[in-house]
């Protein structure tokens, strides 16, 4: 299932559009019953996605190598997110296995981005101004990499989570103490799966797991 997508008319729908941009980039990989899908496959995909996050002043064209760079950044973010969230979901595993390679990938985009803000005098007032240099797509990806670094290192903001509903490969920020799933759709599926399992166990008069047995992965999710 593609949870809580938006989009009307001819607009494309994207997964979990209320998440911060780096998480939205991670979630361009999503899954349903048919398997895992990638929303960033073509230059048109990337141009539409960058437009959807409002990263640029207007429409920005994308080339094949931009798609490759965006996907590498996405895979790097997913690798670091997996480490942050103790994510062991096999279907969600990043194409970048090595954590150092993932970190280097994120940093390389920061370096490729615009230089730091500079001091400017405007109408007698001191203001900061970030020089506009380089292609718009590079600036957009660089800004996402910078945001992601903040997101991964912030200690006083909602925590990144991997959604543990059956089959889900998405990440989300736990912005509410009771939020346990990426979406209500995933919450409902997880509850249904739990109910089905319990019902099946009851009907077999199963005595249940022996004392000290490891709980099923979902049973460890709190907040339900
Ligand atoms: Zn989910």
Quote the pLDDT of residue 2. Answer: 59
Cα(54) to ligand 1 centroid in Å equals: 24
pLDDT at 211 over 60: no
Provide the CATH number for the domain formed by 21-126+135-176 in this structure: 1.10.3300
How far does the centroid of ligand 1 lie from the alpha carbon of residue 160, in Å? 13
* 127, β-bridge pairs: 120
What separation in angstroms does the CA of 3 have from each of 13, 37, 148?
10, 13, 22
Q: How far, in Å, from the CA of 10 to the mean position of ligand 1?
A: 26
- Rounded to the nearest whole angstrom, what is the distance from the C-alpha of residue 120 to the centroid of ligand 1? 46
Q: How many CB atoms lie within 10 A of CB 150?
A: 11
Q: Is the pLDDT of residue 148 over 60?
A: yes
Longest Cα separation, the chain = 81
| Neighbour count for residue 53 (Cβ, 10 Å) | 16
20 confidence band (pLDDT: 50, 70, 90): very high
At residue 213, does pLDDT exceed 90?
Answer: no
Top pLDDT among 44 and 210 is at 44
Paired with 122 in beta bridges are 125
pLDDT grade for 224, boundaries at 50, 70 and 90: very low
The residue extents of the domains of the chain are: 21-126+135-176
Q: From the CA of 66, how far away is ligand 1's center (Å)?
A: 28
What average pLDDT does the structure give for the chain? 85
Helices assigned H by DSSP within 10-63: 21-26, 43-52
pLDDT tens digits for 161-210?
A: 999 999 999 999 998 889 999 999 999 999 988 888 888 777 665 554 44
Among 78-92, 153-167, 203-217, which range has the highest average pLDDT?
A: 78-92
Ligand 1 ion: residues within 5 Å (CB): 163, 165, 168, 170, 182, 186
Q: What does the pLDDT average to over 30-49? A: 95
* Whole-number pLDDT of residue 30: 96
Confidence of residue 101 (pLDDT cuts 50, 70, 90): very high
CA of 189 to the centre of ligand 1 (A): 9
pTM over 0.85: no
Q: Report CA dihedral (71, 74, 78, 80) to the nearest 10 degrees.
A: 110
Q: What is the model's pLDDT at position 221?
A: 37
Centre of ligand 1 from the C-alpha of residue 188, in Å = 10
Rounded distance between C-alpha atoms, residue 115 and residue 65, angstroms? 22
């Amino acid at each position: 299932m593609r949870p809580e997508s938006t989009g009307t008319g001819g607009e494309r729908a994207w997964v979990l559009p209320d998440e911060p941009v780096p998480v939205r980039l991670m979630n361009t990989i999503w899954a349903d019953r048919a398997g895992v899908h990638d929303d960033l496959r073509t230059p048109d995909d990337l141009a539409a996605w960058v437009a959807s996050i409002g990263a640029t002043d207007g429409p920005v064209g994308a080339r094949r190598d931009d798609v490759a760079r965006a996907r590498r950044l996405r895979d790097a973010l997913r690798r670091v997110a997996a480490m942050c969230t103790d994510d062991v979901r096999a279907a969600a595993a990043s194409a970048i296995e090595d954590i150092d390679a993932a970190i280097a990938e994120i940093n390389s985009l920061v370096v490729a981005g615009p230089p730091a803000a500079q001091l400017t005098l405007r109408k007698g007032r001191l203001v900061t101004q970030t020089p506009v240099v380089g292609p718009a797509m590079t600036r957009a990806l660089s800004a996402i990499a910078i945001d992601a670094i903040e997101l991964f290192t912030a200690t006083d903001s909602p925590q990144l989570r991997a959604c543990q509903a059956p089959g889900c490969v998405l990440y989300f920020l736990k912005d509410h103490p009771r939020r346990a799933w990426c979406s209500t759709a995933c919450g409902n599926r997880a509850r249904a799966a739990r109910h089905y399992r319990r019902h099946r166990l009851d009907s077999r008069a199963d005595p249940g797991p022996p004392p000290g047995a490891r709980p099923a992965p979902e049973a460890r999710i709190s907040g339900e």
